[in-house]
Amino acid sequence: MKLLKVSGSLLLSSSLLFGCANSDENSAKETVKETKNTVSDSFSVVTDEYRKYAIGEIEEFVKATEAFTTAVKNGDVDQAKALYATSRVHYERAEPIAEVFGDLDPKIDAREGDVPEAEWGGYHRIEKGLWVENTTIGYEQYAEQLMKDVNLLRAKVDTVEVTPDLLITGAVDLLNEVSTSKVTGEEDRYSHTDLFDFAANVEGADKIFQLLNPALKEKDEELSKEIQIRFDDVFSLLNKHKNDEGYKVYTDLTEPEIKELSQAIDALAEPLSEIGIVTEAL
Amino acid sequence: MSKNEYIIEGESPGVKKISRRDILKTAGVGGAGILIGASGIGGLLSVTEGKASSVKVSDVVPFYGRHQSGITTKAQNHVYFAALDVTTTRKEDLIMLFKEWTQAAALMSEGKPIGELSSNEFLPPKDTGEAEGLSASNLTITFGVGPSLFVKENQDRFGLKSKQPKELKDLPAFSLDALEEEWTGGDLCIQACADDMQVAFHAVRNLIRIARGKAVLRWAQPGFQRTKQADAKEGTPRNLFGFKDGSVNPDVKSEKQMNEHVWVQPGDGPNWLQNGSYLVVRRIQMFIEVWDRTNLKEQENTFGRYRDSGAPFGQKNEFDKLDLNHKQADGEDTIPVDSHVRLSHGDGSQQILRRGYSYSNGMDLKTGSFDAGLLFLSFQRSPSKQFIPIQKRLSKMDKLNEYISHRGSALFACLPGTKQGGFIGETLFM
């Protein structure tokens, strides 16, 4: 019961929590409330930290998108290709936040078939032009719109309320993204730069883990160690596929290598999904 | 032979003993709880112990016992079989894995989830949930270890090399083998059998989930046979060629026969495998389209049995004795020299406990034919004295080879059973 109350309360903003503190509640309720406050207090440090991180990544994303879309508008195919994958990593790292804006995410990141053809724009539309047609001609308008949408995202991100729920769910969601669309090579199906997105998602999950880890260590040292080991495993597998440009193209991976990556993500995501225990009172 | 009754593992064959725990379980599950309230547990026990036959046999096969369940257990309707690769390099992880597996398997065998729903909604549920509310469905979960768990690429991976039995090595290459890597081998295996496919799948799914970070799926194959509902008489199941398969099997109710043919005995090899058994798995593709255009006479000659009755040539009934010396008027063998039944039988000295299931994996993408066949599963005390000589004969000249192809193969040592509080694998790892 106590757990339920605590975890439920985490969804509320802290001001609301403090607001409903009432002096004439009985002692049993007092205990619960105290726990609430400790939990949300310790979390406010974490959520603030994460907020800074995510906004930082989105700011980088704005800059990178500016360079990318400028290259497209200037007709510089090579430059645009070179910037494509590295621009996206900032978005992929901050995906739990970026995805909060259900209207913007598809505009920026929809893949072919995700939305009606007439509405399809954003990174992957330009990706198709660059790699399938080897051109930027006719894609200037998409670059223009993409820049607008990314600027809008930056403006909106300030309004996001970072809750512990968003972090706990977000960490595993990032890895689920990897399992369902990166591992299959569907994300960057023309450029085959999927490993950049793959690594960025894992980095985003790692950031959340590192932020929650001090609290987790107190709850369950073993689990904390296990998750750390599995992150190390995934990063060392990814390192095997690094080259001068960043990462190998996905189509260069062998089937066993893809399976190995996929199973390493499963092995990581399973214990990581237990990270929600940090919401339980010590 | 009719194999309609089954024994509870760990009890003497043929005698169905019902323990106090079983009664309590039955009472808890069946709603007899009211009875307990009225007359007390003692009363209920004395009634049921006095007239054991009146107790409705539940669909729970006990997990704990001298032997693992799922070997001499009467074959359930479905199997979900999985082979795994161990990814951890630490022996402690393996031990932990088998401890967790034992606990989970014991719960699931009783039709229970492997964990209660957490009150913390920020955690995923412990149990995956699809067997919620379903009966145990005679679920059995049988664990085995493959040769590569001991030594792989010349590495003594877990310091177990000295414990590897001589018998536990890759099967020899047989003529006509067309093994594919993706269906071959495995460090560990899980055989989950149940009368409900969802229950069997649930079991393997949860065990694989528990193994994350320690072991991964290598290959998996579901299988089926006619259900007990569809065949009230529970006769020998027919394979996908339409013939009865498994007519000649040792009697699982005979402790003597099981000790002779199935259970590893003292002195057979390392002690840790005593009361265990060797499991041979062969994934045999059957070219059913080709078979279907083969005339009946040819089909029956291939097996050496009549399709309808299942009787061997020259006999009337399925379980009539094979008469391998019988000649036709023209002097030809009544049971053809290259027939499956003759070659399987050999001189009759090698017996194996077959527990196979048909499989159908949709379409073969290359040919557009069905990808269907037999997941051959056989238990024996000694592969080198039982399965291997039989398969050598079959692979050389079995007429059936025209219609089948062995695509997958594995050998596992199925561990002995354990008592409550112990764990499967304790004799090997400790």
Question: Tens digit of pLDDT per residue, chain B (430 long)?
Answer: 343 333 344 444 434 444 444 444 444 443 333 333 334 444 344 433 444 444 456 899 999 999 999 999 999 999 999 999 999 999 999 999 999 999 999 999 999 999 988 888 899 999 999 999 999 999 999 999 999 999 999 999 999 999 999 999 999 999 999 999 999 999 999 999 999 999 999 999 999 999 999 999 999 999 999 999 999 999 999 999 999 998 899 999 999 999 999 999 999 999 999 999 999 999 999 999 999 999 999 999 999 999 999 999 999 999 999 999 999 999 999 999 999 999 999 999 999 999 999 999 999 998 999 999 999 999 999 999 999 999 999 999 999 999 999 999 999 999 999 999 999 999 999 8
Within 8 A of A222 by CB-CB distance, chain B residues are: none
**How many beta-carbon contacts under 8 Å exist across A and B?**
42
To the nearest whole Å, the CA of A27 is away from the closest chain B CA by: 22
Interface residue A273 vs chain B (CB under 8 A):
yes
Distance in angstroms (rounded) separating the CA atoms of residues B126 and B329:
68
Cα of A7 to nearest chain B Cα, Å: 7
Say whether residue B330 is in contact with chain A using an 8 A CB cutoff.
Answer: no
Residue in the block written with tokens 């557009």? B368
Strands B140-145 and B404-414: antiparallel
The pTM for the full model equals 0.83
Q: Closest CB to A267: pick one of B119, B121, B212.
A: B212
> Is the CB of B87 inside 8 Å of chain A's CB atoms?
yes
A199 closest CA partner among A248, A155, A135: A248
Q: Which residues of chain B have a CB within 8 Å of the CB of A4?
A: 119-121
pLDDT tens digits for chain A (282 residues)? 333 333 333 333 333 333 343 444 444 444 444 444 455 566 889 999 999 999 999 999 999 999 999 999 999 999 999 999 999 999 999 999 988 898 999 999 999 999 999 999 999 999 999 999 999 999 999 999 999 999 999 999 999 999 999 999 999 999 999 998 899 889 999 999 999 999 999 999 999 999 999 999 999 999 999 999 999 999 999 999 999 989 999 999 999 999 999 999 999 999 999 999 998 865
Of B208, B207, B77, B81, nearest to B137 by C-alpha is B77
How far apart, in whole angstroms, are the C-alpha atoms of residue B220 and residue B334?
40
Query: Do B258 and B72 contact (CB within 8 A), yes or no?
Result: yes
Find chain B residues with C-beta within 8 A of A1's C-beta: 119
Å from A49 to nearest chain B CA? 21
Q: Among B121, B122, B213, whose Cβ lies nearest the Cβ of A271?
A: B213
pLDDT at B246: 86
Whether B123 sits inside 8 A of A277 (CB atoms) is yes
Kindly provide the ipTM of the predicted complex, given to two decimals. 0.78
Q: Domains in chain A, start-ordered, CATH in brackets?
A: 43-161 (1.20.1420.20), 163-282 (1.20.1420.20)
Interface test with A, best of B120, B127, B205 (most A CBs within 10 A): B120
Q: Are B259 and B341 in contact (CB under 8 A)?
A: no
Amino acid at B212: R
The SS3 of residue B259 is helix
Q: Is the Cβ pair A267, B87 closer than 8 Å? A: yes
Nearest CA in chain A to B124: A273
| Contact yes or no for A3 and B120 at CB 8 A | yes
The candidate with the shortest Cα–Cα distance to B412, out of B181, B168, B179, is B168
Q: What is the 3-class SS of chain A, one letter each residue?
A: CHHHHHHHHCCCCHHHHHHCCCCCCCHHHHHHHHHHHHHHHHHHHHHHHHHHHHHHHHHHHHHHHHHHHHHHHCCCHHHHHHHHHHHHHHHHHCHHHHCCCCCHHHHHHCCECCECHHHCCHHHHHHHHHHCCCCCCCCHHHHHHHHHHHHHHHHHHCCCCCCHHHHHHHHHHHHHHHHHHHCCCCCCCCCCCHHHHHHHHHHHHHHHHHHHHHHHHHHCHHHHHHHHHHHHHHHHHHHHCEECCEECCHHHCCHHHHHHHHHHHHHHHHHHHHHHHHHCCC
The distance from CA B364 to its chain's CA centroid, rounded to whole angstroms, is 26
Q: DSSP string spanning B67-118?
A: S-SSSSSPP-SEEEEEEEEE----HHHHHHHHHHHHHHHHHHHTT--SSPPP
Type of residue found at B50: G
In B, minimum Cα distance to A165 occurs at B122
Burial class (CB within 10 angstroms; exposed 0-12, middle 13-18, buried 19+) of B31: exposed
Q: How far is CA B299 from the centre of its chain?
A: 27
Task: Look at residue B117 in the predicted model and tell me its pLDDT.
Answer: 83
Instruction: Judge whether A267 is closer than 8 Å to chain B, CB to CB.
Output: yes
Task: Tell me how far CA of residue B131 lies from CA of A97, B128, B190, in angstroms.
Answer: 35, 8, 18
CA B110-B111-B114 angle, 5° bins: 90
The helices-and-strands tally (H runs, E runs) of chain B is 11, 11
- Nearest one of B355, B345, B353 to B376, comparing CA atoms: B355
Question: Tens digit of pLDDT for each residue in A181-194?
Answer: 899 889 999 999 99
CB B186 within 8 Å of CB B411: no
Q: Which chain A residues have a beta carbon less than 8 Å from that of B128?
A: none
Residues of B in contact with A277 (CB under 8 A): 120, 122-123
Name the residue in chain B with its Cα closest to that of A280.
B120
Residues B283 and B303: their CA atoms lie apart, in Å, by 19
- The pLDDT value given to residue A282: 55
Contacts of B219 in chain A (CB under 8 A): none
Radius of gyration of chain B (CA): 22
In the three-class reduction of DSSP (H, G, I as helix; E, B as strand; rest coil), residue B42 is classed as helix
Q: B84 CA to chain A: closest CA distance, Å?
A: 12
Say how many Å lie between the first and final Cα of chain B, rounded. Answer: 41
Hey, what's the torsion of the CAs at B50, B54, B55, B58, to 10 degrees? 150
A81 contacts: CB under 8 Å, gap ≥ 6: A130, A131, A191
Please answer yes or no on whether B216 and A267 come within 8 Å at the CB atom.
yes
Task: Flag whether residue B213 sits within 8 Å of chain A, measured between CB atoms.
Answer: yes
Determine how many CB atoms are found less than 10 A away from the CB of residue A79: 16
B123 in contact with chain A, both atoms CB, cutoff 8 A: yes
A168 — contact with chain B (CB < 8 Å)?
A: yes
Contacts 24+ apart (CB under 8 A), B148-151: B148/B185, B148/B186, B148/B187, B149/B86, B149/B187, B149/B188
Strand partners, B353: B379
Shortest Cα–Cα distance, B123 to chain A (Å) = 5
Q: What is the Cα–Cα distance from A194 to B233, expressed in whole angstroms?
A: 57
Taking CA–CA distances from B212, the nearest residue in chain A reads: A267
Subunit contact B119:A279, Cβ cutoff 8 A: no
Interface of B with A in 90-119 (CB under 8 A): 119
**Tokens encoding B228:** 């007990």
Element holding B201 (H helix, E strand): helix B197-210
